[in-house]
Amino acid sequence: MKKGLNAWTFPEDMPMERRMEITAKAGYDGFECLYEKEGYVSMETSDARLKQIRRRAEDLGLQIPSIVGAHYEGLSLASGDAREVREAQERVKRMLHAAGVLGADTALLVAGGCSSTTQNPYGQYDVVYDNAVRNVASLAEAAKTEGVRIGVEPVWSKFLLSPLEMRRFVDEMASPWIGVYFDTGNVMIWGYPEQWIRILGKRIYKCHFKDFRRSVGNFGGFVDLLAGDVDFPQVMAAFREIGYDDFCTCEVSPYQYDAEFMAFQTAAAMDRIFAM
């Protein structure tokens, strides 16, 4: 398995190239880029600039294994509004293209989320599910064209709340270009990551490493690796059972005063976890 670090783990005002330099210095194999409306990698970044970023990462000895989208601005692939869905799909296609130029093989995608039907007529669970299956599945051809897989992640959006449902969701789309971007910490609010891993199996394309304290039970429960309740010995046993040997990319909150120490401490924790 390979160690990766996500760009969000650094202070927002730190230049992206400095984040990559620290990542390489700390001994990681990969750096996960953000795909934003504006920024280092965005909808406005030219192919020539993306190639420069890829070369810079390679010069540092890093891969860019995946990118994560932060550019939806309220758009949802699970909407029943055709215009909104078309715009969301167009942005995903541009993200897939950017990922391919960067050399990434996976792009993280949030398929949709449930909400109060008083606030959103398309927010009911079964409606969200049906719309998301249809609209995500229609992106498979674009993913194939760009050579970049879509990894669906069930963030805290009140949607895809069990491994059985996530398995069914991916299987309904019946495409090798659509799978799961799994997060060890996010699912702790609903269950046990090792169970998700065993049930999802080969559908997992990439993994985010996070830890979480159940007693907190909200966003404040995310803590440094090995400081929470994720049963990492069981997680690693499950990964070995399914034969997963791809990237595990860490997402932790930035350290307030020493971002470089965060990178080294997290790398050491990941090495300990890999050895479990």
Burial class of residue 74 in the structure, from the number of CB atoms within 10 Å of its CB (0-12 exposed, 13-18 middle, 19+ buried): exposed
pLDDT of residue 94: 93
pLDDT of residue 70: 60
Whose structure tokens read 């669970």? 125
pLDDT of residue 36: 86
Query: In whole angstroms, what is the distance from residue 100 CA to residue 146 CA?
Result: 6
Contact predicate 56/31, CB 8 Å: no
Q: Is the pLDDT of residue 73 over 80?
A: no
- Across 114-143, average pLDDT: 92
- Across 116-136, average pLDDT: 91
Domain locations in the chain? 2-274
pLDDT of residue 134: 96
pLDDT of residue 71: 52
Q: pLDDT category, 72, cuts 50, 70, 90?
A: low
- Across 20-35, average pLDDT: 97
The gap from C-alpha 59 to its chain's centroid, in whole angstroms, comes to 24
Tokens standing for residue 113: 């989320």
Average pLDDT over all residues of the chain = 94
Percent of the chain with pLDDT over 70: 98
Query: In whole angstroms, what is the distance from residue 244 CA to residue 240 CA?
Result: 6
- How many other C-beta atoms can be found within 10 angstroms of the C-beta atom of residue 191? 12
pTM over 0.75: yes
pLDDT of residue 39: 83
What DSSP designation does 125 have?
Answer: H
- Across 13-30, average pLDDT: 97
- Which overall architecture, per CATH, does domain 2-274 show? Alpha-Beta Barrel (3.20)
Query: In whole angstroms, what is the distance from residue 254 CA to residue 257 CA?
Result: 9
Q: pLDDT category, 187, cuts 50, 70, 90?
A: very high
User: What tens digit of pLDDT does each residue of 227-252 get?
Assistant: 999 999 999 999 999 999 999 999 99
Cα–Cα distances (Å) from 238 to 149, 224, 232, 242, in that order, read: 23, 21, 10, 6
Query: In whole angstroms, what is the distance from residue 258 CA to residue 210 CA?
Result: 19
pLDDT of residue 176: 97
Contact predicate 149/107, CB 8 Å: yes
Q: Is the pLDDT of residue 137 over 70?
A: yes
